[in-house]
Amino acid sequence: MKMNKFLQTVTGQIRSKEAKTYVKNELDKHLLNSKNAWLEKGYNEEEAEEKAVQEMGSPLTLGKSLNKLHKPKVDWVLIGLLSITLLLSFLPIMAVKEIFSSDFNFQALAINKAVFSIMGLCIAIGIMFFDYRKLKNFGYWFYLAGIGLIVIIHLFSNELLIGEPIISLGFVKIQTWMALPLLLIAWATLLSTTSFKLWQGIALFLLSIFVFTLVGNLPMLFIYIVIVGVLFVQSKFSRKEKFWVVSSLSLIVVGIFVFTTVAIVKGMIAEYQYARFASFLNPEKYETGFGYLYLQLEKAITNAGWFGANELVYLPDTHTNFVLATLIQTYGYLMGLLIIGILTFLAVRICQIAISIKDPFGKLLIMGGVTLFTTQFLYSVGMTFGVFPIVSMSLPFMSYGLMPTVLNAFIVGIALSVYRKKPFVLNRVKEPS
- Full 3-state SS string of 93-120: HHHHHHHHCCCCCHHHHHHHHHHHHHHH
Query: Distance between CA 42 and CA 64 in Å, rounded?
Result: 33
- Chain centre to alpha carbon of residue 388: 21
Cβ(180)–Cβ(146) below 8 Å: yes
Confidence category of residue 163, pLDDT binned at 50, 70, 90:
low
Question: Which amino acid is it at 118?
Answer: I
144 has a pLDDT exceeding 90: yes
Q: What is the pLDDT of residue 427?
A: 38
Residues 265-301 have pLDDT tens digits of 655 555 556 666 677 777 777 777 777 788 888 888 8
Q: What is the DSSP letter of 129?
A: T
Q: Which of 3-12, 39-48, 396-405, 409-418 has the highest mean pLDDT?
A: 409-418
Question: Which amino acid is it at 292?
Answer: Y
Query: Distance between CA 393 and CA 220 in Å, rounded?
Result: 9
Query: Distance between CA 198 and CA 411 in Å, rounded?
Result: 27
CA angle 298/300/306 to nearest 5° reads 115
Residues 6+ away with beta carbon under 8 Å from 352 = none
Q: What is the DSSP letter of 290?
A: T
Q: What is the pLDDT of residue 265?
A: 61
- Chain centre to alpha carbon of residue 205: 19
> Beta strands 172-174 and 159-161: pairing type?
unpaired
Q: How far apart are the first and last CA of the chain?
A: 31
Per-residue pLDDT averaged across 328-338, rounded?
90
431 has a pLDDT exceeding 50: no
Quick one: what percent of the chain has pLDDT higher than 90? 24
Q: What is the DSSP letter of 161?
A: E
Q: Which has the minimum average pLDDT: 163-172, 247-256, 411-420? A: 163-172
Give the total residue count for the chain: 433
DSSP SS3 for 217: coil
- Chain centre to alpha carbon of residue 152: 23
Q: What is the pLDDT of residue 369?
A: 92
Alpha helices by DSSP H, listed for 163-217, are 180-191, 198-215
Q: What is the pLDDT of residue 272?
A: 57
Q: Which has the minimum average pLDDT: 11-20, 74-83, 95-104? A: 95-104
Residues 6+ away with beta carbon under 8 Å from 405 = 116, 117, 119, 120, 397
364 has a pLDDT exceeding 90: yes
Q: What is the pTM of this model?
A: 0.78
CA angle 346/348/350 to nearest 5° reads 70
Cβ(271)–Cβ(289) below 8 Å: no
Q: Which of 89-93, 110-114, 182-186 has the highest mean pLDDT?
A: 182-186
Cβ(107)–Cβ(392) below 8 Å: no
Question: Quick one: which H or E segment has residue 169?
Answer: strand 164-169
Residues 49-84 have pLDDT tens digits of 888 888 888 888 887 777 777 677 788 999 999 999
CA angle 177/182/187 to nearest 5° reads 115
Query: Distance between CA 424 and CA 27 in Å, rounded?
Result: 14
DSSP SS3 for 190: helix
Cβ(260)–Cβ(274) below 8 Å: no
Of the candidates 181, 80, 94, 90, the residue with the CA atom closest to the CA atom of residue 399 = 90
Cβ(189)–Cβ(361) below 8 Å: yes
